[in-house]
Amino acid sequence: MKQNIFADNLKRFRAEKNYTQEQVAELLCVSAQSVSRWECGNTLPDVMLLPEIARVYGITVDDLFKEKAVAYKNYAQRLLAVYESTGKTEDFLRAEEEFQKLIASGECEANDIRSFGVLYHYMTKHSFEKAVHYLDLAIKTAKDSDKETFYRAASQKIALYSETGRSEESIAEQSSALEKDNDNPMQWCLLVAAYFFAERFDEAYSLSSKAVEKFPGSSSLHIYAGDICRALKKYDEAFLHWNKAFEIDGTYLDAKYSIGFCYEEIGDYANAHRIWKELAEELKRRGLIVESEFPANLAEKCADKIL
């Protein structure tokens, strides 16, 4: 039964492509007689040839043995359909590789280029869904056992939502969480972050001022308060918050990054250079050699701008 389906599919796919048996034979580097015998169900091609047959007809190997399978314009288009259906990373990579080959061949049409863009569109959608799934799982897992991971996972989700136009969802989510846990400085910090990433800086400033007054010993709140002040160009106030954050917890280097970028923003490249050098040296001291390269490069760029 399977062989009959296979033979019938070969004939149908060839007809849909408007290929002759001779043309298919040339593409596969076999004889026209071999193609004829396959289509008559007398013999089967070597299993190693199946991927090439599928490629010629714009299908997958599995399609060769399926009833009512449809031939696509090319193999890349078929793999796009597979990825749309599965959302699996390995299927995305297969489709991406095939589209790249198609473009390199010079036989790519406008619709193929559009489809290549669609592939990345689907990938973005699937990646977003996976990112939210695993961040939510981390938040749930760490909520009662690992405050640092909980905070970082929640902050990352807020950043992700802001980058995908869903900032208001973050604000609503964190507002609800704060109502249930009003005495938790971390929840205040997350709502401040949601307003900050939404670029609602005036509201973020008002909320962060209340939060810092309520929890003066929270370095994270001081860092966000400083970043908000920087966005509002309240630079003196920003430096006060960042320095306070570093005073509270000298191991938490986020404040130093904010200070360095702010010095660059106001054109004080000498102090920016000093901060980047300090950060690079501290990261090296902690054994974070790769991470130290970023501030080291920033220090070099600032050195070139010092008069």
Amino acid at 97: E
pTM of the model: 0.75
pLDDT attached to residue 244 = 95
What are the Cα distances from residue 275, in Å, to 88, 123, 163, 292? 43, 39, 28, 12
User: Is it the case that residue 165 has pLDDT exceeding 70?
Assistant: yes
Q: What percentage of the chain reaches a pLDDT higher than 90?
A: 77
pLDDT attached to residue 205 = 98
Residue 1 banded pLDDT, cuts 50, 70, 90? very low
Q: What percentage of the chain reaches a pLDDT higher than 70?
A: 99
pLDDT attached to residue 182 = 93
pLDDT average, residue stretch 192-198: 97
Residues 272, 151: Cα–Cα separation, whole Å: 28
pLDDT digits (tens, 9 = 90+) for 11-28: 988 888 888 999 999 999
